[in-house]
């Protein structure tokens, strides 16, 4: 049976839902009769797709999106960066992230505020965690233990997690190896595999609750 990474709009939702299909070599995605297929085999070695280019291409009604070489900055693990200022706890009132939502009113925080409800890539929307969410506890713990400094590689990981969280959490395995933003996140924190284990445990617990 052909495996499909299919991007379709659900009748009850405005968010795209992703699954996998084999496409021509070098193609990231194909729009066919309103459905968008993403390549199950990923991109050739040395090339990638990107979430940014996918969403831009999709909004502009592109036909075929091709892999391309990306200029990625070289990160110096020995270079320290000042940590952000802690914004205060931004914990969900009734559960942990990720949480499905229909609007920001479903994303009530314990302090009475709200966070945005934004699309994922599985046809559903999710509450988007702010820097004060439990998702980023590891970042703040590291900062506390290291005089409010973090290596550039750690900062890049958490920055990407903050930017692409909703896209990444339910993206299928083929997307994890095709889109450069997910490749970094899938690898986990530098010198540590703990975050991926913890995050997927929270994900399963949250969605089953």
Predicted local distance difference test score (pLDDT) of residue 76: 59
What does DSSP assign to residue 121? S
Cβ-based neighbours of 10, under 8 Å, separated by 6 or more: 17, 123
Determine the Cα–Cα distance for residues 198 and 209; give it in Å rounded to an integer. Answer: 17
pLDDT band at 58 (very low <50, low <70, confident <90, very high): confident
Taking the C-alpha atoms of residue 14 and residue 94, their distance in angstroms, rounded to an integer, is 25
pLDDT at 98: 94
Higher pLDDT, 182 or 131: 131
Distance of CA 113 to the CA centre of its chain: 23
Q: With beta carbons less than 8 A apart as the criterion, state whether 43 and 62 touch.
A: no
What's the average model confidence in pLDDT over 116-133? 91
Please give the mean pLDDT across all residues of the chain.
Answer: 80
pTM: 0.76
Phi, psi angles (nearest 5°) of residue 184: -65, -45
* Residue 107 or 35, more confident: 107
CB burial of 114-132 (b: ≥16 within 10 Å; e: otherwise) equals bbebbbbbbbbbbbbbbbb
The alpha carbon of 153 is separated from its chain's Cα centroid by a whole number of angstroms, namely: 17
Query: What percent of the chain is predicted at pLDDT more than 70?
Result: 78
pLDDT of residue 83: 95
Question: Which has more pLDDT, 115 or 198?
Answer: 115
Mean pLDDT calculated for residue range 187-194:
59
- Among the residue ranges 5-9, 120-124, 134-138, 186-190, the one predicted with the least confidence is 5-9
**What per-residue confidence (pLDDT) applies to 73?**
57
Mean pLDDT of 128-154: 93
Q: How confident is the model at residue 206 (pLDDT cuts 50, 70, 90)?
A: very low
Q: Which of 142-175 are b and which e, b meaning 16 or more Cβ less than 10 Å from the residue's Cβ?
A: bbeeeebebbbbbbbbbebbbebbbbbbbbbebb
Instruction: Collapse the DSSP code of 203 into the 3-class scheme (helix H, G, I; strand E, B; otherwise coil) and give the result.
Output: helix
Structure tokens given for 66? 């091709």
- At 74-105, the pLDDT tens digits run 555 567 899 999 999 999 999 999 999 999 99
């Amino acid at each position: 049976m052909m495996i499909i990474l299919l991007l379709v709009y659900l009748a009850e939702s405005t968010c795209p839902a992703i699954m996998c299909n084999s496409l021509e070599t070098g193609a990231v995605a194909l729009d066919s009769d309103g459905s968008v297929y993403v390549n199950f085999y990923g991109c050739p070695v040395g090339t990638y797709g990107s979430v940014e280019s996918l969403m831009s291409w999709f909004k502009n009604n592109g036909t075929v999106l091709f892999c391309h070489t990306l200029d990625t900055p070289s990160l110096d693990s020995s270079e320290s960066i000042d940590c952000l200022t802690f914004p205060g706890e931004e914990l969900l009132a009734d559960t942990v992230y990720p949480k499905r939502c229909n609007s920001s009113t479903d994303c009530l925080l314990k302090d009475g505020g709200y966070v945005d409800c934004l699309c994922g890539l599985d046809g559903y929307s999710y509450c988007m965690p702010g820097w004060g969410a439990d998702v980023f506890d590891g970042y703040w713990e590291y900062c506390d233990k290291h005089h409010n400094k973090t290596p550039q590689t750690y900062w890049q990981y958490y920055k990407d997690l903050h930017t692409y969280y909703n896209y990444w959490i339910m993206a299928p395995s083929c997307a994890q190896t095709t889109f450069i933003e997910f490749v970094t996140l899938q690898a986990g924190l530098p010198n540590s595999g703990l975050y991926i284990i913890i995050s997927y445990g929270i994900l399963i617990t949250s969605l089953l609750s």
